Amino acid sequence: MNNPLARLVVLISGRGSNLIALAEAARNGAPYAIAGVISNRPHAAGLEFAHQNGIPTAVLDHTAFAERAEFDRQLAGIVDEMAPDFIALAGFMRILTAEFVDRYPGRLLNIHPSLLPKFPGLDTHARALKSGESEHGVSIHFVTGELDGGTIIAQAKVAVLPGDSERTLAARVLEKEHLLYPRVLSMLALGQIALGEDGATVVRTP
Ligand code: GRF
């Protein structure tokens, strides 16, 4: 018997290369479908990709909101209308309120370009270079109220090479991002991994 595809909503703010990787994996048989893309920026390039590929989109411009809580309430309304099983933040440059995050336990994920807990926040590649790391990479984690906190699900590493610039290092990490995010979402969609009831562990479900 074929299970229905899990529904994935992707939240973006910009380029959308992770969105594209997720959509390509879905086209190639991953066990989820992209039910919608939501951007907080009206001109995010990823929206164009979604339009061209027949993926429903919504824009909620954060600059129109005086209060974060109200933005998040409206965002939750749009997300819920798209009826996702999972919500993937993919370059979504907003800090979410606890009220929003707590609505989707075990269903809200983020991809972050560092080996967390190292380098939460911005400019991760420059910071990794500056601190002389020998390896760097990407983390995928469940989202909590803490910036780039939350239970880590998977990481992929790259070596930092002599002569690396922020650009070359970012490009090498991005290649790993594009492989890892679809993989993790596929495992979640199949129920092969899930957030543990204690909120602190990732468990394999039977
Ligand atoms: C990626 O590096 C992701 O890890 C980070 O923001 C960037 C988004 O890139 N959170 P893109 O919009 O998916 O191309």
From the CB of 148, is ligand 1 less than 6 Å away? no
pLDDT in tens, 12-43: 999 999 999 999 999 999 999 999 999 999 99
Q: Is 141 part of the annotated catalytic residue set?
A: no
- DSSP string over the chain: -PPPPEEEEEEESS--HHHHHHHHHHHTT-SEEEEEEEESSTT-HHHHHHHHTT--EEE--GGG-S-HHHHHHHHHHHHHHT--SEEEESS---PPPHHHHTTSTTTEEEEESS-TTSS-SS-HHHHHHHTT-SEEEEEEEE--SSTT-S-EEEEEEEEPPTT--HHHHHHHHHHHHHHHHHHHHHHHHTTS-EE-TTSS-EE---
CA-based torsion, 81, 83, 89, 91: positive or negative: negative
For ligand 1, the distance from its centroid to the CA atom of residue 90, given in whole angstroms, is 6
From the CB of 111, is ligand 1 less than 6 Å away? yes
For ligand 1, the distance from its centroid to the CA atom of residue 83, given in whole angstroms, is 24
pLDDT category, 4, cuts 50, 70, 90? confident
pLDDT category, 204, cuts 50, 70, 90? confident
pLDDT at position 113: 98
pLDDT at position 1: 47
Which of 43, 51, 112, 125 is flagged as catalytic? 112
pLDDT at position 88: 98
For ligand 1, the distance from its centroid to the CA atom of residue 5, given in whole angstroms, is 25
pLDDT in tens, 158-199: 999 999 999 999 999 999 999 999 999 999 999 999 999 888
pLDDT at position 194: 95
